[in-house]
Amino acid sequence: MKRNGTTSKGTTRWRCKQCGASSVKRRNDITNAAVFTQFIEHCTTAISLDDLAKRNGVSRATMKRRFKWCWLVDVPDPTAGHHKRIYDQVFLDGTYTAGGCLIVAATIDHVIAWHWCKHETTRDYQLLLERIEAPLIAVIDGGQGAYSAIKKCWPTTKIQRCLVHAQRVVRRYTTTNPRTDAGRTIYRLALKLTRITTLDEAAAWGVQLHEFSTIYREWMNEKTMIKDPKTGAWTRVWTHHNVRKAYNSLNHLWRSEMLFVYLNPPAGVLAPERIKSTTNSLEGGINAQLKLLARTHRGRSGERQRRMLDWWLYLKTELPDDPVRIARQSDWGQGQLAKVSTLTQTENQADHETGRPALYDNAIDTDYTHSIGIQKAKSNPRDTPSQTHILTLNPAGSCQARFSLKCGDGDFLCDGFRFVRRAPHAAGMWIAAVQRDGDDHDHKQPEHGDRHPYP
């Protein structure tokens, strides 16, 4: 190759001495690195595609096209570099976005790990906690899923109930302006929780809770007869049930020793002064920012919103790697495409061998071929179909239902089917009866509208 002038943009042109073909050398790695840097900026800040397009002097559609491969780059697992590390305190909480429910585990300084799910169930919290070593203290907002998962995965971890959430539970039952003396007393007692800083103050608070129970026990035990308007049956219910619920919520936390763990941390805590009693650092520093980012890019939902928030969370971990380096190691997203292609071929080949439908496919061609291309099986002479089967087709001719052939050795599909009858269906579909070529035609043909149950 030798130099052969420049292009209209000033790029050096190279010419082959052998064949005379000319070309320019392109550094796709430099271009991809610049594109991915802008992609990360877009995903983790409030900058929009329009702003990026204006900065680069291109259209919004061009920026979307440039970012297309960027969505294929996987976010690394942040727990890989923290194996066997035990934290003093871990905060757990979930937040909901258009992409689903996001459960986050974090310290007061950085994100540890996260997990996407539909709801904050015990199983989903278990999937998150299994990736993290049991800390000394875990702070939760009071959800049953997190509590049950901690008891199963981290049985030795002390649980600190978020005091702000404990106050909210009481306020939900009493309101901010209670009408009864008992309601005002229990509400003031709940407000004192976040102002307790010593063990003596905590003990005094417990005494006041006990005094409340002593004074208002008979009053809270009062019951009222109410009549069911439908059945006419009379039932005894608690007269002051809201105050009872408010008291029971605080009494349960006090008896379970989940209120003041931050004042008496377990042995082994390296920095007792950094132990907190609320999940404010997680909800305000992480969850609120995630919601703001999702709201800023509210046109993006589903898998891409999850990928966007994943990158934001990854950059909030303790030692995040350079995103451009991560993208370069994955060959700018081409590594993920190669995995998908290999997986598709492997799964389909395995399904063909077992006689099952292909795991990854688009449709079945309605034009006659010697093989339907989905399932293959060799039939014995004694394997004859016991009945004609119904195949559901859409107007375009693609198959939308699984079907099989009932034979002596089981259910399978054979080569060489031909259509016997096709009739319109009420739902806009087509009903087609299929029969194996070479079989006798004295089998019972389906009447119009007959359907065979799919196996």
* Helix (H), strand (E), coil (C) string for 287-322: HHHHHHHHHHCCCCCCHHHHHHHHHHHHHCECCCCC
Number of residues assigned to the chain = 455
Question: Domain segments of the chain: what residues?
Answer: 2-72, 78-162+278-315, 163-274, 363-455
The pair of three-digit structure tokens given for residue 31, joined into one six-digit string: 């271009």
What is the pairing mode between strands 234-238 and 417-424? unpaired
List 405's β-bridge partners, or say none: 412
pTM: 0.72
| Residues of the chain under the 70 pLDDT cut | 340-341, 343-345, 347-348, 350-353, 355-455
C-alpha pair distances (Å), 410 with each of 379, 406, 416, 424, 453: 11, 6, 18, 30, 15
Give the pLDDT of residue 350: 65
Spatial contact of 432 and 418, defined as CB atoms under 8 Å apart: no
Q: What's the rounded Cα separation, in Å, for the pair 290 and 96?
A: 10
**Cross-sheet strand order for the sheet of 111-117:** 111-117, 100-106, 89-97, 137-140, 158-161
Number of C-alpha atoms within 13 angstroms, CB side, residue 332? 15
Mapping DSSP to helix (H, G, I), strand (E, B) and coil, where does residue 390 land?
strand
Give the pLDDT of residue 362: 59
Give the pLDDT of residue 81: 75
Mapping DSSP to helix (H, G, I), strand (E, B) and coil, where does residue 436 land?
strand
Spatial contact of 143 and 275, defined as CB atoms under 8 Å apart: no
Looking at this protein, which amino acid is placed at residue 12? T
Give the pLDDT of residue 396: 41
List 410's β-bridge partners, or say none: 407
CATH of domain 78-162+278-315: 3.30.420.10
Spatial contact of 412 and 405, defined as CB atoms under 8 Å apart: yes
Spatial contact of 35 and 50, defined as CB atoms under 8 Å apart: no
Model pLDDT for residues 166-212, shown as the tens digit of each residue:
999 999 999 999 999 999 999 999 999 999 999 999 999 999 999 99
Tell which residue, 291, 296, 304, has the closest CA to residue 70.
304
Q: Is 11 exposed, middle or buried (0-12, 13-18, 19+ CB in 10 A)?
A: exposed
Q: What's the rounded Cα separation, in Å, for the pair 258 and 260?
A: 6
Q: What's the rounded Cα separation, in Å, for the pair 283 and 276?
A: 13
Residue 95 has φ and ψ, to the nearest 5°, of: -140, 150
Distance of CA 392 to the CA centre of its chain: 34
Q: What's the rounded Cα separation, in Å, for the pair 313 and 78?
A: 9
Give the pLDDT of residue 395: 41
Cβ within 8 Å of residue 43, ≥6 positions away: 297, 307, 308, 311, 312
Q: What's the rounded Cα separation, in Å, for the pair 25 and 12?
A: 8
